[in-house]
Structure 1
Amino acid sequence: MTGTALPLTPADRRQITDAIDELTIGIARLLCADNVQASEREVRLAVVAAAQLLRADVEVQLDQAVRGAARAGADYSQIGAAVGMSRQGARRRWPGLADLTRGARRT
């Protein structure tokens, strides 16, 4: 990988989507575990809550991964390419990474 995201085939994307669906449903089941008589609305709201939990956790993981990439010497252009945004977009989203990148390149 040279600073760009790996290309995914449609089959790869389906597998990823299926895995995310399974994880979301599994979390929703945990949220509804104490309510065996849950209505369809309650189940669907549990799925919404599960998706939000996943979204928040993935955002934290992304931020940690970006900082790790910067500490390993990746610059804004490379990080932007890896997440599908411009260098400027990456710089706006994650300000202050240049110091981490410079520190990595000095060692």
Structure 2
Amino acid sequence: MTSIGITPEERAELGKALTDALNPLAAAIRSRQSGLSTARMWEADPVEVTLSVLAAWKVVDAEVKQLTARAAATAGSYGANYEQMGAVWGITRQGARKKWPGAVPRPAAAKAGAALELFGGTAELVQDPSSGGWAWAGEGADGTRGAAEDGTWYAAKEEAAAHAGAFLREHAATLS
């Protein structure tokens, strides 16, 4: 799933609905600050009125951020990953992980690794618990040891396995 846009008509409807929902909050904030009743809010200094509207949007912004984090955590609990969340939000996988840390449950240690035996050699696939990325280390049938390049974490277990498999194929025992 990718980021979803809305039509101009939907945007206009959303703007109206949000403004309608915001007005009572802005009026309450202005009333507390000015001592005027909410019915007389618009009679106050225009700068003060517009600042109360801005203050109300700040409250809404904080609430939206909390609701967004809750939605991300819910998606993660159902199996969504950071790549999917980032695609929907229009940011990278890393950006999604930074925006909603902990939204995707970390894999259990028992699931964090796997062994690969190919071409007479073996490789261990390991998952980084903090990033969820995958790396590998192994020994070819010819005794050569190898591993993913320093700092390289692959997005998927299958990608790390493909790189490990290519290494094991290159270092297969030669038949005499």
Range class of TM-score, shorter chain: 0.7 to 0.9
Deviation at 1:98, TM superposition (A): 3.4
Aligned position for 1:42: 48
Aligned position for 2:11: 13
Q: Which amino acid aligns with 1:17?
A: G
TM-score relative to the length of structure 2: 0.51
Sequence identity percentage: 32
Count of residues in Structure 1 that have an aligned counterpart in Structure 2: 101
User: Take 1:84 and 1:92, find their aligned partners in 2: how far apart are those partners?
Assistant: 14
TM-score relative to the length of structure 1: 0.79
Deviation readout 1:8-54 (Å, 9 max, x if unpaired): 11111111122222222231112223413522222111101101000
Q: Which amino acid aligns with 1:95?
A: P
User: Take 2:104 and 2:51, find their aligned partners in 1: how far apart are those partners?
Assistant: 41
Give the root-mean-square deviation of aligned CA atoms: 2.2
Q: What secondary structure, in the 3-state scheme, does the structure 2 residue paired with 1:98 have?
A: coil
Does 1 or 2 have the higher relative contact order (CA < 8 Å, sep 6+)?
1
Higher helix share: 1
Computing the radius of gyration from Cα coordinates, the structure with the larger value is: 2
Deviation readout 1:60-80 (Å, 9 max, x if unpaired): 100111001100111111111
Unpaired runs of at least 5, structure 1: none
**Further displaced range: 61-70 or 10-19:** 10-19
Residues 1:32 and 2:38 aligned together: no
**Further displaced range: 76-85 or 24-33:** 24-33
Change (3 A) 1:47 1:99: same
User: Take 2:51 and 2:77, find their aligned partners in 1: how far apart are those partners?
Assistant: 39
User: Take 1:56 and 1:13, find their aligned partners in 2: how far apart are those partners?
Assistant: 21
Higher strand share: 2
CA contact (8 A) 2:25 2:56 kept: yes
Q: Which amino acid aligns with 2:18?
A: I
Deviation at 1:92, TM superposition (A): 1.8
